[in-house]
Structure 1
Amino acid sequence: MRTDDLIKALDADARSKTMPLRSAWWIAAGAAAVIAAVVFLLTIGPRPDFMAAAHTMRFLSKFVFTIVLAISAFALVRALSTPGASTGRAAMGMIAAPLLVAAAVILELFAVPSADWGTRLVGTNMMICMTFIPLIGIGPLAIFLWMLRYGAPTRPVLAGAVAGLLAGGLAATFYAAHCFDDSPLFVASWYTIAIGALAALGALGGRLFVRW
């Protein structure tokens, strides 16, 4: 069977599902958010000074990064789950979150004395961050991998990795409400590593469970 024929067959299979793929993805995203919220609230919960911190730019900038990452990854993984769908524009959107973090890091380097850079980078919650972002994100990742099986991705490893980025962005959004380290230097390092772990796990899941 030629590649074009295979893509058409997969696309026809995806369209024949009882629930349209577009609607199923939105339901899956809602379920994933609920699961992440429950795990977050039952484990660490928001920081005690959440309301006061919400008035500071560094605290709010964490959510800008994580939410933009989640939105862009959601758009791309939906496109990847549909055979023959255009992914170029959604793939370009994935650049937004890293650019925002890079800009915030540059501003931080100008605003903070160089003697404090190391302290801001290491922070005080490194291990908590590395533990709880994957913990909060593992449930959503399982849902997104299941959704990829519901669709018909022609690049399952890539789709799984993007599903991991989506789960990581969602988990990091909740974790940011707890994290006391608001410096972009901390976010750029430890948040990225924790989210990257979920992306790697998603790629493995795509290879093992989503491939055709």
Structure 2
Amino acid sequence: MKIGLYFGTFNPIHVGHLIIANHMAEHADLDQVWMVVTPHNPLKKKSTLLDDYHRLQMVYLATEDFPKIKPSDIEFKLSQPNYTVNTLVHLQEKYPNYEFSLIMGEDNLRSLHKWKNYEAILANYDIYVYPRLDAKVRKGEAISLETENLEFRNHKRVHMIDAPVVEISSTFIRENIKNGKNIQPLLPNKVWEYIDHNNFYRR
């Protein structure tokens, strides 16, 4: 079975995450997409980051109607600070018959050279990349991601996927909830109900 790993804090998970995950599950060469919830680093205080299990529960609620998309708490069980390469090794040992790959945005591909043991990741795992608007483009400067990191874009393990460009951010959602704005269309219904019931992000 081919599994695509989509990492994130998912604070909260929103429809943009689901659009990307579902597109990868349906259009990339993958059997399932696992949404890997990144744990809160206990050495860092960040009041806007919800407890690990609340964020995991929201991913569960968002994905329970999508049989090809699964929530994963695998990183909760690993020592911190954790690195993607360690998670990949752990998963390969736990599920030796599965073939794992990474799902990331084009912006993360640009910084891949900064990852721990990125050469080993490239050598052993496929990477499925979805498009993102570059920050410089959003500011009106016509600089294309395509001109940067051609070494990675052209690597045999890197697969550029023509997925929808989704520019919804969890930060935007949290700020608007705090300011009393209606952001329900940006969240799966069950996720919105969970946030509303627990009064998350309101202060």
TM-score normalised by L of structure 2: 0.26
Task: Determine which structure has more spread, i.e. the larger CA radius of gyration.
Answer: 1
Q: Which has the higher contact order (CA 8 A, sep 6+)?
A: 1
* Higher share in strand: 2
The structure in which a higher percent of residues are helix is: 1
Q: With the length of structure 1 as denominator, give the TM-score of the two structures.
A: 0.25
